[in-house]
Amino acid sequence: MRRIGIMGGTFNPIHNAHLSIAEKAREQFALEKVLFMPSGVPYMKDQREILSFDSRCEMTALAIADNPYFELSTLEAADAEQGKNTYTYETLQKLRRSDPEAEYYFLLGADSLYAIEHWKNPSLIFENCTLLAALREQDYCLSNLSDQVRYLREKYNAVVEILEFAGMDVSSTQIRKMVQRRESIRGLVPEAVEAYILKKHYYERKETFQ
C-alpha cells in the first residue's frame, strides 16, 4: 500500500518544527508524501485569534514549496467556507473514500494521545489511520507514554507508533506573541513565511484576524 502522511493543524502560523516532524516521519516510516492540511474551523480554539483559511494556506504553501515530498491539501476548505466545525474523523473518512488503497499516517504531538478520547468520534479516527506521535525531550516520560499507548490499543484497537524525534521547543502561540512584542522570529519559521507575516502585518495586535 502507498503510505501517506497527514500533518494537520491550524498552522497559525506554520513553523519549522512542523516541517522537521513531517520530514522525520517521512523518513522513519517510508511515507510516499506528507499532506499538509490547514484546519478549516478548529472548533477547540478561539476563532478570534486565527487567520483566515486562505491566509494559513498561503503560508503553508510557502513553507513547503522546496520539498517535493510535501503537498498542500485544502480538503477542509469547505468547512471554512461554511463556518462548519472541522472534525478529524470526517477528514480521514473523506481521504479513505477518495483513495481507499492508501494507508494513512496521522501526525500529532505525543501530548495529544492523552486528549484524543475527547475528540469527536475517536474510534473512527483510530479505524482510519495509524497515529504517529511525535515525542519531544520535554514531553512525558516514555514509561507513562507507553501506558497510554497500551490503553488506546486495548480499548480501541488503535495503531499507534512513536516518532523518534526531539524537536525544537517552539509553538505557534509563542511565535504570535513574539511578533506582537516586535521580536525576531527568524529561524523559527521559513524565511518566506517570515516575510509574508511581516508584509501582511499579521499578529502585530491581539485582535480578530478575519
Topology (CATH level 3) of domain 2-168: Rossmann fold (3.40.50)
Residue ranges of domains in the chain? 2-168
Residue 42 exposed, middle or buried by CB count within 10 Å (0-12, 13-18, 19+): buried
pLDDT at 49: 75
Each residue's pLDDT tens digit in the chain (210 positions)?
899 999 999 999 999 999 999 999 999 999 999 999 999 876 656 666 789 999 999 999 999 999 999 999 999 888 778 878 888 999 999 999 999 999 999 999 888 999 999 999 999 999 999 999 998 765 556 667 889 999 999 999 999 999 876 567 789 999 999 999 999 999 999 999 999 999 999 999 865 444
